[in-house]
A and B are shown apart, each in its own frame.
Chain A
């Protein structure tokens, strides 16, 4: 066996080189083609979305000055020079925030309960009948594709203004989103315990209870906590359509140009979201250890 690098004869080398160049060229062409298609789509989208750079350049000052304005008190001072004046409505806002949190909590819990009841029917490995699985999946898909705020708009008309519409909207959306995630966890579960339980003559329900449930509970709780986090954000805007929570205050402040109130309410929302993020992260870590974090 020779260890020297053998150099191919010219002719063979030329053929290989040509093939290499051709392969590279084809990839480049494909990349270029993709870039051109993407750019064309962007241009088309820019026309469709009525992008007007002139407006943006004429008004970008507005964006900066908007933040300037919301950080200025009526007296013309910066907000942080007089915190008492800035956060004058903190009692009311904290109450609204509490309502927001309660809306997302109740909505998440109801949604998670429904998702919990339905997900076994939607999972590939545990569903008792194919037609049931099909309907369940379409139902969950519908519940999560229609945005929560659209449900809220409809529910506000059916149930009247107030947090009830917001809770139900969040509950339905959470059912759809969690149902899918839950059934995916079930699909990843080990089926041997199920066979074990079934071999003792147990019913379908007992199989779920004693074979599947112990495997999946931690995953369920982890996803439900994550959903709670997302729902807090969603509940903060439910008020825009009259479905309760802090959003109601915020939209009034924005529409009526109460500038310093806007920044104060935004601040409370951001701080709340931070606190929720951090505490659910901590809770997940406590309950399931690091590896269960999603």
Chain B
């Protein structure tokens, strides 16, 4: 019997060599899920290591600018390593310990999942290898730097178009040879069963906290919940707090890149460009051509330019429980600036998609609307990309100066200045 379907999506399309590994992982996950002690251990670790519960911030100034509509922001940016990714990796890390494995591998796009995995591995004493598209290595150097400092080996992937999907393939290739002692810490709610369900479970901590917090602060459930969607893990995380409340509208914001009409985007559910397909172990909407070959995607946010999307979100899309829209690179940079200036919160470019989507739609809502935005991560890692987008001359001068300093040092190895 095939397992792990959400409507027509999901499944486990894996090479036979991994069958037993997935069977063991599914069993370990199901046992952990049935064990209340596991979840409370998880919550304790997240509280003491990652800073949970993360706050819910009422965005007072932004709300005022929208005629008093109330905007609440769930602060996943305040997690250990600055993103919701910490929830998933620590959960899987605890599972790895239960399974008695000693090495973890992971794929990463923006690098956030790689950094989160590397910290978890350092903390739990696991050997760690991170696969990252060579293009992403180039544009997310600060995260590569941290992964290496944390003791992980970062392997740049030069196959395909050298981004996230290619890193996934490489990690799978590693795993089919190393599965005895190695666990693949998949970074999002995608891939073969049980990953979509398991990752969503660990991320559900976002939604259950947010539900309690907004009930306390706003006195009621929100009208709308916005989250950005790469693979869909932070969206699944927050949506799960409200799935059973049909009046709460759930909105996923995908990468609109240079605009849906340009073809240079990563909108799988919000555009008509994606088709249902089967790749990387599961069935969902993929950006692919008529032959079934995956297309290249584009986003200013490396963490959102993935070709597939969580099968659970694909099903929520199909059933109409969630709605999907896209925000362009330009809108996202504007939203990021606006949130910084109004609230003093530096969101990641990925997370700023959720902000952009919400701000665009807010003027068309009734004045007493309450909205909740999941701010999945913080923007420090994006300093180079954001500075490029903002053309900040002082920053450019600083980088120039640093480059000169390194060049000088390279020419005079004895000079340690």
Genuine A/B complex? no
